[in-house]
């Protein structure tokens, strides 16, 4: 039988880099949410592992052992045909590949396969939180996940197609021992309440990303003046940005306006949670 899975976009509302271990892994403190848009996967058992990739952003996505979907399936000993419909831009700081891998583990666990406890983090720092696919605080090297409760956040996701290699962004980070978020995350009644609190938090990779690709600063400056968002910030290591608004009606209006003004940008209205 064919099994289907959904791999939502992952958004880092905050990303505090709090240290670096001797083995090179960075320590993080991040508030993570997920969008209602994402990639879709289909799994059909068969004698050998086969991956096909189609969709809006299929170009450049490997369909072999370099893909985290392949690695996840291979790690649990599953064989068959996997079809990945690539809706999300890849290499965009929204956990596309990690979410795809997490969806693969979720789907195969539903087929009775055993998923080793350390497998998600071995596939990548974002995979464990993507397995939960709900609002959570992510700490350590991505292996410490604490689910949290947040209001639904109307948002616009914008990717201007700027290439920002994650390794280069971390290498450009001037200081790695930065303060974490407060010990306790408040309970928010509205999206505006949450956005106002988020303004006092950070994405420590935003400034170094600007050093790697100066265009990021120009894009962010423009986005901060589009319909006065509650918050405009880069997600992860970039180069996708999120804009928070008080209503989905405003988010849809902004997404349409940005798409018209910049037809080469990927702009989507979504709800984060």
Convert the pLDDT of each residue in 198-213 to its tens digit.
999 999 999 999 999 9
Catalytic pick from 29, 100, 126, 204?
126
Q: Do 50 and 81 form a contact (C-beta atoms < 8 A)?
A: yes
Distance of CA 47 to the CA centre of its chain: 32
Residue 181 tokens read as 């978020």
The band of 1, judged by pLDDT with boundaries at 50, 70 and 90, is: confident
pLDDT at 90: 85
Q: 185-201 pLDDT, tens per residue? A: 999 999 999 999 999 99
Residue 91 has pLDDT above 90, yes or no: no
User: 233-262: string of b/e by CB count within 10 Å (b at 16+)?
Assistant: bbbbbbbbbbbbbeeeebbbbbbeebbeee
Structural domains present in the chain: 3-147 (3.30.230.10), 153-272 (3.30.70.890)
Residue 22 tokens read as 């001797």
Q: What is the pTM of this model?
A: 0.95
126 a catalytic residue? yes
End-to-end CA gap in the chain: 31
pLDDT at 226: 87
Average pLDDT over residues 257-272: 97
Alpha helices in 76-190 (DSSP H): 96-109, 119-123, 127-132, 166-171
71 a catalytic residue? no
Residue 13 has pLDDT above 90, yes or no: yes
User: 125-134: string of b/e by CB count within 10 Å (b at 16+)?
Assistant: bbbbbbbbbe
Catalytic pick from 10, 86, 100, 204?
10
Q: Do 223 and 241 form a contact (C-beta atoms < 8 A)?
A: yes
Alpha helices in the chain (DSSP H): 68-75, 96-109, 119-123, 127-132, 166-171, 191-198, 206-212, 215-223, 248-261
Residue 14 tokens read as 């905050």
C-alpha–C-alpha distance, residues 205 and 17, integer Å: 8
C-alpha–C-alpha distance, residues 268 and 271, integer Å: 10
């Amino acid at each position: 039988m064919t099994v289907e899975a959904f791999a939502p976009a992952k958004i880092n509302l905050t990303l505090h880099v709090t240290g670096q271990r001797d083995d090179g892994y960075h320590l993080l403190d991040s508030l993570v949410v997920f969008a209602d848009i994402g990639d879709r996967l289909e799994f059909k058992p068969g004698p050998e592992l086969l991956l096909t990739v189609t969709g809006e952003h299929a170009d450049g996505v490997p369909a072999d052992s370099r893909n985290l979907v392949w690695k996840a399936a291979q790690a649990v000993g599953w064989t068959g045909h996997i079809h990945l419909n690539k809706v999300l831009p890849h290499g965009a700081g929204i956990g596309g590949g990690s979410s795809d891998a997490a969806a693969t583990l979720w789907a195969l666990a539903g087929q009775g396969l055993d998923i080793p406890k350390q497998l998600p983090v071995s596939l990548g720092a974002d995979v464990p939180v993507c397995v939960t696919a709900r609002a959570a605080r992510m700490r350590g090297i991505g292996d410490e996940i604490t689910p949290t409760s947040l209001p639904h956040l109307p948002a616009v996701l914008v990717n201007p197609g700027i290439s920002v290699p994650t390794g280069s962004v971390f290498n450009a980070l001037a200081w790695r021992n930065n303060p974490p978020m407060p010990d306790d995350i408040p309970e928010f009644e509205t999206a505006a309440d949450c956005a106002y609190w988020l303004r006092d938090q950070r994405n420590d990779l935003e400034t170094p990303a600007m050093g790697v690709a100066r265009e990021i600063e120009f894009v962010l400056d423009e986005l901060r003046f589009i319909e006065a968002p509650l918050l405009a910030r880069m997600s992860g290591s970039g180069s996708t940005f999120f804009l928070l608004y008080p209503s989905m009606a405003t988010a849809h209006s902004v997404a349409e306006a940005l798409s018209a003004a910049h037809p080469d940008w990927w702009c989507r209205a979504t709800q984060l949670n």
